[in-house]
Structure 1
């Protein structure tokens, strides 16, 4: 990776990419494929590439939620995973970390690799808008030395994503606790002290999502005494579905990542009027009943797999892992059960508590029901702070944050976030319910307080500021497979920066944003409040972006295959070439 220091002056770039996770890697790669001689630099705050997949953050029990053939980029297959290290084609995350290092090293543009353009240990702290573009104020760590530098870029791609700033809740008595505390982001660096020991440890895992499940499983499998604590006042534990796919699909991802299944997702990005199946499912009472029946069967199958009321887990509170809402709504998220012994390990070796935490003590935690949980180590699998942007803008440019369509606290939205948007929300919500009658019957659910205290993202397609064409945001949408999304978002974003993307008027984009956010809030309940939770929508969302670009090479010529075949990474091969040819003709 690049370690060259600033040259003493104000270095200028054609493009600055902030973040070297998979979205930043693809953004830089896509731009360089189209502009090989431009000056491009990627700023990465950590010491490695890959974001959540970096070697700094992976650990032994961290497995992929996406299988081989789907979790990779279209221009380089992920090879070398032994069959013995897979479970229905899901595999340990360490192979992804190695793959990404090889990927950035193998991409050469104008005689210089993508890896050489990445400045590690370079935290973009503030961003300022100037006539020439953007000034990046960067804090850099070089060999133990700390320095500051400024750079100018004509264009910026923010790829800081959703998993860069840990959310560690403030708990009364935290300062009294005498053991080890860490966020799951740091579990990979600390795993040796927790999983390889002379004497078993007492470990408390806090959180209800898949990351908490992975850590609890890892700690219990290693022989530790594990207490898994899931807030009663929170959205509840994640659901876990089988890694096995329904016939004729090999695994769960293949079952979901195809265009036939997309019709059952109630997705805003699928134009149901274009197929007879869509018209039947969405515009007839019988079709609505079919959608409900399909999801009821999926939910019943997942609960049967877990068997939450099993007798051998009652003493440890295994029943507390039962999700609060059905899988369709995704209010408590979903994970793949990609290890055959997962439920047995948890049921037999982990005490599961569904309680709020009253306080921390010198030796652990006290729960709201009075339970004393003793812990040598407390691991927070409590998600990530929802803050936009991850970098700060100058005090005199706070209006810019709002005008770009980024999230801000409700009390800071001031005059630029006027009642105009509230009118759009109300009108859009009525249209969404009219289009998707099934969303009228939403179940009782936990409403996340923090989600309502921040304005939703108002980026067109979740990527583009409506009022600015010099900066774009990728990786802000949460989907089931980020590798496919990263490739498609990168091409869409670069097209917008290049001015080749045909965009509607400002008013039309505002209406589109209002509809997308309103749909998200109705479709995904509390998780959808920020307007960026698209958990089931990978295929319709990426198809929608590519349709706007006017591209077709990712589609199969055979109607049957195009409808039913899983969307593998290799399907995106040739998209950049097609885009390049189309741009020349244009």
Structure 2
């Protein structure tokens, strides 16, 4: 059996406005700098690196939500001379793919990547504490499946390793393409159809597809599920009356204080947060900030000025929405396509399909030539962990019928320390998750990710043999991955003191997970780490444990 000192699964799996698309690459670069002679292997199921920025995913018009300067690693700038992007421009998908390829070359990562290598099972090696991986090679000259022994293992598959495509009654008789947004490039011929096209979903990928079709002259029907979370927030690049760069607001320390945060004391300003969120005057000031931010976006987008744009107005205030937000990065006015009728919005559920027709819960029937599903991802690794129950030990989403007393204790602690979160928004009473089959499968996950610092399974905290990179969703993805890579490298090497008991680690993990459930009910906080203005104190937490300075601008 082949052996490796460290195996990283994934050379980049991510979504555009959340997890870093270079999680595996960032960790590999950091680990190799510390261990230049280590036997490191990166296993990537796709044929090219980059995750959402892989070549087979670069559909027409795909761009980052970030502008030049906030979507790069600090030690490898995306300079204008090399990549042709200017300040104030959103970065096209092909440029990001090129950047990641050059990054891998620059730090000698490329020779370590084995493309078209899909990990099917992971087994804990009871003899030496390592891990045994079963790997399927899908390259043209592949042999049978291989086994690989990893002394240390990091899963860098992020939160979106496999697309979620819902099942619909009558799909077999639809007689037209039904495809996920990740496969848009493979269905680019639908941009030249003579009929209408439909989109299901209301996140950024749905906006991207709607713009691509409508700007190409293809009339389209956009279906926003009445049983879903509603449309995501779409903000202009510059917000608030002061016209500040949106993605930089989360790095403005004074503004991060406006968010109640269970790990907020890590930035050294816990007393300020307590003043802002522990009394009526402070709460009024913080609430005023969130009102200005949300009202500014509503006003700039003109949601309330037209009946069609009103259908795309988010259902939850930005305070509660987490990373269920994105940025308008289109070259022309998106909202004019909606106002002009080129995009028709329907707030309804799909009840069934028939021949080239979509039937909705509001009684409408839509004749279309294709259905694009911008319906998200399975938020669980597709790898099978052996033996059964190991996924639960690893802190991965799983199903359990047993009550968790620690969960209730953590809920009480969160609401006691952060009373602002007691006043929860009213969720959609018709909320119902999409399904891939008519019956919810046995064992459908009802437990979220439970990883210490969103990286390490509590049950393996002392083991130092396994970690997760990119399992947290934050708009500050590039910086997050650099810091996580430093922390994971120190952790795997034994250079971080493990001075907490397993019970203490389990408690802190559960406390942070339940905080996110209460903090971001309009986002994904109940299922996995999803946070925005809490990013900077999270970085402070990790940097503090590494013994590094957290206030990086002079003495400030």
> Could you state the TM-score of these two structures normalised by the residue count of structure 1?
0.85
- Asked if the contact 1:64/1:90 (under 8 Å) is kept, the reply is yes
Residue 245 of structure 2 is matched in structure 1 by: 251
Aligned counterpart, 1:194: 190
Question: 1:61-86 CA deviation, whole Å, 9 max, x = no partner?
Answer: 22212221110011101123899966
Q: Which deviations, in whole Å up to 9, do the C-alpha atoms of 1:333-370 show, x marking residues without a partner?
A: 11112235122123322001110001111113111112
For 2:64, what is the secondary structure of its paired residue? coil
Q: 1:248 to 1:444 in 2, by over 3 A?
A: closer
1:223 and 1:361 mapped to 2: Cα distance?
Answer: 25
CA positional deviation for 1:143:
2.0
How far apart are the structure 1 equivalents of 2:470 and 2:481? 7
TM-score calculated relative to the size of structure 2: 0.90
Please give the alpha-carbon distance, in whole angstroms, between the structure 2 residues aligned to 1:247 and 1:146: 61
Which blocks of at least 5 consecutive residues in structure 2 are unaligned? 13-21, 435-443
Aligned residue pairs total 527
Task: Confirm or deny: 8 A CA contact 2:323 2:531 kept in the other structure.
Answer: no
- Whether the 8 Å contact between 2:6 and 2:40 is mirrored in structure 1 is yes
User: How far apart, CA to CA, are the structure 1 residues paired with 2:87 and 2:318?
Assistant: 22
Aligned residues of 1:502 and 1:549 also touching (Cα < 8 A):
no
Say which SS state the counterpart of residue 472 (structure 1) adopts: strand
2:145 alignment partner in structure 1? 148
1:269 to 2:263 alignment? yes
**CA distance in 2: counterparts of 1:99 and 1:84, whole angstroms:** 11
Pick from 351, 368, 377: which aligns with 2:370?
Answer: 377
CA separation in 2, counterparts of 1:459 and 1:365? 41
1:129-528 aligned within 5 A: 129-130=124-125, 131-132=127-128, 133-143=130-140, 145=142, 147-191=144-188, 193-195=189-191, 197=192, 199-246=193-240, 251-271=245-265, 274=269, 277-311=272-306, 314=307, 317-330=308-321, 333-339=324-330, 340-348=332-340, 349-387=342-380, 389-394=381-386, 397-411=387-401, 419=403, 422-446=404-428, 453-468=445-460, 469-503=464-498, 504-525=500-521, 527-528=524-525
Contact 1:86 1:92 in 2 (8 A): no
Q: Does the aligned pair in 2 maintain the 1:245–1:253 contact within 8 Å?
A: no
Deviates more, 1:52-61 or 1:363-372: 52-61
Aligned twin of 2:8: 17
Quick one: structure 1 residues 383 and 392, their matched pair in 2 at CA, closer, same or farther if it must change by over 3 Å?
same
1:209–1:332 contact (8 Å) kept in structure 2: no
- Shift of residue 273 of structure 1? 6.5
Q: Structure 2 CA distance, aligned partners of 1:94 and 1:268? A: 39
Look up the match of 1:542: 539
Q: Is the 8 A contact 1:89 1:251 kept in 2?
A: no
Q: Distance in 2 between matches of 1:86 and 1:168?
A: 37
Could you say which residue in structure 1 is the equivalent of 2:120? 125
1:116 to 111, 116, 135: 111
Distance (whole Å) between structure 1 residues aligned to residue 362 and residue 242 of structure 2: 48
* Contact kept? 1:238, 1:333, Cα under 8 Å: yes
1:7 matched to which residue of 2?
Answer: none
* Cα-to-partner distance string for 1:441-475 (whole Å, 9 max, x where unaligned): 11101376559942122210111011222111111
Q: What displacement does 1:121 show?
A: 0.5
Q: Structure 2: how far apart are the matches of 1:60 and 1:259?
A: 37
| Structure 1 match to 2:18 | none
Helix, strand or coil for the counterpart of 2:123?
A: strand
Instruction: Say what the alpha-carbon RMSD is for the aligned residues.
Output: 2.3
Equivalent positions of 1:52-71 (< 5 A) are 52-71=52-71
Q: 1:363 to 1:345 in 2, by over 3 A?
A: same
Cα offset for 1:379? Answer: 0.7
Q: For 1:280 and 1:82, how far apart are their aligned partners in 2?
A: 47
> Are the aligned partners of 1:246 and 1:255 in contact in 2 as well (CA < 8 Å)?
no
Distance across 2 between alignment mates of 1:118 and 1:83: 23
Report how far residue 245 of structure 1 moved. 4.4
- Is the alpha carbon distance of 1:392 and 1:87 closer, same or farther for their aligned partners in structure 2, counting shifts above 3 Å? same
Unaligned runs of 5+ in 1: 1-9, 108-112, 412-417, 560-586
Asked if 1 retains the 8 angstrom alpha-carbon contact of 2:311 and 2:347, the reply is yes
Q: State how far apart, in whole Å, the 2-side matches of 1:77 and 1:87 are.
A: 13
